[in-house]
Amino acid sequence: MTIHVVGGGVAGLAGALALARAGRAVVLHEASPGAGGRARALADGTDNGTHALVGANTAALAFLRAVGARDGWVEPEPDGLPVLDCADGAARRISLSPFGWVSAGHRPPGLSLAALGALARMALPGRDVPVAQAMAAYPVFQRGFVDPLVVATLNTPSAEASSARLAQVLRRLGGPGATRLYVAERGLGPDMVDPALAAIRAAGGEIRFNSRIRSLTAQGDGWLLDGAPAAQILLATPPWESARLLPGLAVPQAHAPIVNLHFARSQPGPVRFVGFVGALCQWVLVRPSGVSVTISAGDAEAGEDAATLAPRAWGEILRAAAAFGIPGEWPIRAPECRLVKERRATPRHTPGPPLAPPRRPAPGLALAGDWTWPHLPATIDAAVRSGEAAARALL
């Protein structure tokens, strides 16, 4: 009995691998020429965005180990995250773990026992309010630590981001190694997507690119996939595609964009990862193959073009390179830049109960996708967990 996996994003890859390794015949359908979804590699080899994992992302890290790609993810800043405040020029190394705040040199600005208590209270189950409201009494700590954490994990501005959704993240950051930061040394293609595709094929799975499914129809005990019989289906498509294929399915309606800039800069040197506050840039990943900038919750920036964004971002990158001694040549003029906009990168994580669609909405059908996992915000880890849960449901 063949199981058809519709959607080759991270959730679809995780689900297809679990099914194939369980001995099932699997066909993975991906509408585009390449896999990865919103965590894909582009045709020129660059990533669509700057994706990072932390030690708390146990499902994602286990998936990387399962496909033989874990060694490709390196820890660029083991001594604390370099953070440049472009408003006052302060350059700090901040520990992502509260246990590291014992050292005064690794504390976020504005840290106090009261501010830490407010953050701890937010991690407890309770009322759900905008994060900015919950942290309003501690504006310096909020600006320098909480706001960057919120946009990185929820892709939603603190003024509207759900404190309960942030709490799902905070509760996972207390374990040993939970806040260690990892990035793909070469890129998402060679360090995640390509190994996953190879592992699926090695387990007997078939992969069909440029295979957009146009209709999904229930028929007796099975389904028709574009008119062809299909006994079981794992649907791992974005919310809008899932709603198109399954009319009446409840899906997120509001989404937030992520804007990415990729600068051409070929320089030898270590992989570096830098955070910013008071800046256009939020996260900058420096690889020997180039420099990538991420602007999460980029509602305003999604309406701009590279001609206006690139010079501003490059100026901030130059300041960070000088402040943290990042080696290599750094020309004053911004190099060639590629702009990538994911206009519907994630659902907007606002206060209110998270959407929890049924894993099995109908016999022979299972849903996957980061938006279907109510226990975490829409992240790579949530995508992996959802794909594996959908596979278990079909098995």
Q: Can you give the pLDDT at residue 45?
A: 66
Question: How do residues 110-144 score in pLDDT, each as one tens digit?
Answer: 999 999 999 999 999 888 999 999 999 999 999 99
Residues in the chain predicted with pLDDT less than 70, given as ranges, are 44-45
On whether both 266 and 181 belong to a single domain, the answer is yes
User: How many folded domains does the chain comprise?
Assistant: 3
DSSP state of 333: S
Question: How do residues 76-98 score in pLDDT, each as one tens digit?
Answer: 999 999 999 999 999 999 999 99
For residue 318, give its domain range: 66-97+176-185+255-347
Is residue 104 in a domain? Answer: no
On whether both 31 and 70 belong to a single domain, the answer is no
Domain end marker among 172, 195, 210: 172
Q: Can you give the pLDDT at residue 39?
A: 85
Question: How do residues 250-289 score in pLDDT, each as one tens digit?
Answer: 999 999 999 999 999 999 999 999 999 999 999 999 999 9
Q: Can you give the pLDDT at residue 175?
A: 83
CATH number at residue 217: 3.50.50.60
Is residue 20 in a domain? Answer: yes
Q: What are phi and psi of 283, to 5 degrees?
A: -135, 135
On whether both 322 and 260 belong to a single domain, the answer is yes
Mean pLDDT of the residues in the chain:
95
On whether both 228 and 362 belong to a single domain, the answer is yes
On whether both 245 and 259 belong to a single domain, the answer is no
Is residue 143 in a domain? Answer: yes
On whether both 304 and 166 belong to a single domain, the answer is no
Domain end marker among 128, 147, 172: 172
On whether both 181 and 32 belong to a single domain, the answer is no
- Distance CA(192)–CA(186), nearest Å, equals 10
Q: What are phi and psi of 292, to 5 degrees?
A: -120, 140
On whether both 118 and 231 belong to a single domain, the answer is no
Provide the 10 A C-beta neighbour count for residue 123.
Answer: 18
Is residue 243 in a domain? Answer: yes
On whether both 124 and 167 belong to a single domain, the answer is yes
Domain end marker among 347, 367, 382: 347
- Give every CB contact of residue 39 below 8 A, 6+ residues apart in sequence: 9, 10, 47, 48, 49, 51, 188, 192, 193, 380, 383
Full DSSP string of 9-38: BHHHHHHHHHHHHTT-EEEEE-SSSSSBGG
Contact present, 131 and 161 (Cβ < 8 Å): yes
- Distance CA(275)–CA(251), nearest Å, equals 32
Tokens of 229: 């019989």
- Distance CA(161)–CA(156), nearest Å, equals 5
- In whole angstroms, how far apart are CA 375 and each of 169, 181, 273? 9, 21, 28
Is residue 90 in a domain? Answer: yes
Is residue 56 in a domain? Answer: no
Q: Can you give the pLDDT at residue 355?
A: 94
Is residue 107 in a domain? Answer: no
Identify the CA nearest to 368 among candidates 350, 348, 389.
Answer: 389
Q: Can you give the pLDDT at residue 44?
A: 67
Is residue 54 in a domain? Answer: no
CATH number at residue 277: 3.90.660.10
On whether both 289 and 367 belong to a single domain, the answer is no
Q: Can you give the pLDDT at residue 299?
A: 96
On whether both 248 and 372 belong to a single domain, the answer is yes
- In whole angstroms, how far apart are CA 289 and each of 42, 124, 327, 336? 14, 42, 14, 13
Which residues lie across from 122 on neighbouring strands?
Answer: none
Residue 337 three-state SS: strand
Longest dimension (CA), the chain: 66
On whether both 213 and 243 belong to a single domain, the answer is yes
